Amino acid sequence: MQAENVAVESRAAGMRLRSGWSRWLLAGAICGVIGILAGILAPLAGLWRYTEPWKMVAELLVVYVGVMGALSAATADRVTAWQFAAGFVGGLVYELINATGWHAFFFPNDRLLVAEGFWPSILVASLLWGLMVLVVASAVTPRASRGAPA
């Protein structure tokens, strides 16, 4: 009986830990780590290239930590499709802003992974943003609220 009480208290503490501002901070931190890895590995793999170093830092802070971290935290209690859709739409808006004026990065030869051409590259990138928000939202959601057995 005492072990069950400890498990319930532990689960409740985990839910309190990942609610409110702590969920937002955790989501932003995870997205920031993903952004750092992407910023280092993508140019090495030839997926995309940054035009200026300061724009890479701005993208990391504003888009990865700020926007995608916020979308991940805000949709953490939503269904999977909602999480993915939020990331996809947020990513699509960002990719279009970048392509039409911000120019923080570009896809060499208008190619990203299997997509070739301007629009296919933008859509593949948006799919990746949606996947990132989905994964991070799942990571910041306590197990008990995901429907795990009690």
In-domain check, residue 9: no
The distance between the two most distant Cα atoms of the chain, rounded to a whole number of Å, is 64
In-domain check, residue 69: yes
Residue 126 has pLDDT above 90, yes or no: yes
In-domain check, residue 3: no
Give me the chain's average pLDDT, please: 86
How far is Cα 76 from Cα 5, in angstroms, rounded to an integer? 26
In-domain check, residue 137: yes
- CA 145 vs CA 8, 126, 138: distances in Å: 13, 27, 10
SS3 50: strand
In-domain check, residue 18: no
- Residue type at 113 in one-letter notation: L
In-domain check, residue 12: no
Query: What pLDDT is stored for residue 1 in this prediction?
Result: 54
How far is Cα 141 from Cα 120, in angstroms, rounded to an integer? 32
Residue 128 has pLDDT above 70, yes or no: yes
In-domain check, residue 122: yes
Query: What pLDDT is stored for residue 115 in this prediction?
Result: 84
Its domain, for residue 46, covers 29-143
What is the number of structural domains in the chain?
Answer: 1
Residue 92 has pLDDT above 50, yes or no: yes
pLDDT band at 2 (very low <50, low <70, confident <90, very high): low
How far is Cα 20 from Cα 31, in angstroms, rounded to an integer? 17
Query: What pLDDT is stored for residue 110 in this prediction?
Result: 86
pLDDT band at 4 (very low <50, low <70, confident <90, very high): low
In-domain check, residue 14: no
